[in-house]
Amino acid sequence: MEKAYIKNATKNDFNIVSRFANNLHQMHVNFDKDFYREDADVLTKEEFEEYLDAENHYFPLIYVKEKAVGMAHFVIDTMKDDTVYPFKRLHVFDLIIDKKYRKNGFGQRMFNYFEKIIKEKNLDIMSLNVAGKNTDAIEFYKKQGMSESLIVMMKKYKNEK
């Protein structure tokens, strides 16, 4: 694996984060064109800045030779409601590695980064959602020791766009 490093995005990194967010959304569109909108404004600069200001949202970027080759978006929070025991979690919203750099250990590197934070902050679990048709990602997460917890099922009745 090429030498890589991870740094948390700042407000100056919006264009890089936006590029990854749009690429990930395009993957979702390709999985299900009837559900995901191609013309969606995936992440505005204002939303990105609000996330960063929230202090519990993070956007780590993975770099190889000054080139960002991957990005994640995660939150650290505590789940509390009357139906579950309270637990502290790291929830991954997004994890994407540029297609050209996949299967080279960069996803593993990011996952290790998540686990380091989980240990440092004494969190209870890591959670994430993954598109059912994203079999490569599902296989990767299972190799990391993750297992299915919730499955969202959907039945389409009409196709209005």
64 part of a folded domain: yes
99-106 average pLDDT score: 92
**Domain contains 109:** yes
Do the domain assignments include residue 151?
no
Per residue in 31-82, pLDDT (tens digit) is 777 777 777 778 999 999 999 999 899 999 999 999 999 999 999 999 888 8
In the prediction, which pLDDT does 115 show?
97
DSSP-based helix, strand, coil % in the chain, nearest 5: 35, 25, 35
The string of pLDDT tens digits covering residues 107-125 is 999 999 999 999 999 999 9
Q: Has residue 149 been placed in a domain?
A: no
- pLDDT score of 110: 96
Task: Please count the other Cβ atoms lying within 10 Å of the Cβ belonging to residue 143.
Answer: 11
Based on the structure, what is the number of domains in the chain?
1
Q: How far apart are CA 92 and CA 62, in angstroms?
A: 15
% the chain with pLDDT above 90: 65
Average pLDDT over residues 149-154: 82
| Residue 16 within any structural domain of the chain | yes
C-alpha 48/C-alpha 76 separation (Å) is 16
CATH number at residue 104: 3.40.630.30
Q: How confident is the model at residue 1 (pLDDT cuts 50, 70, 90)?
A: low
Residue 32 lies inside a defined structural domain of this protein: yes
Segment among 35-39, 101-105, 150-154 with least mean pLDDT: 35-39
Bridging pattern class, strands 67-81 and 125-128: unpaired
On whether the CB atoms of residues 62 and 106 are closer than 8 A, the answer is yes
Confidence tier at 161 by pLDDT (50, 70, 90): low
Q: Residue 77: its pLDDT value, please?
A: 94
Say which residue the tokens 């929070």 belong to.
77
Do the domain assignments include residue 47? yes
Structural domain of 69:
5-143
Residue 56 confidence (pLDDT): 94
Q: Are 57 and 73 in contact (CB under 8 A)?
A: yes
Whether 130 shows a pLDDT value over 60: the answer reads: yes
Q: What is the pLDDT of residue 63?
A: 96
**Residue 118 is assigned to a structural domain of this protein:** yes
Q: How far apart are the C-alpha atoms of 132 and 105, rounded to whole Å?
A: 22
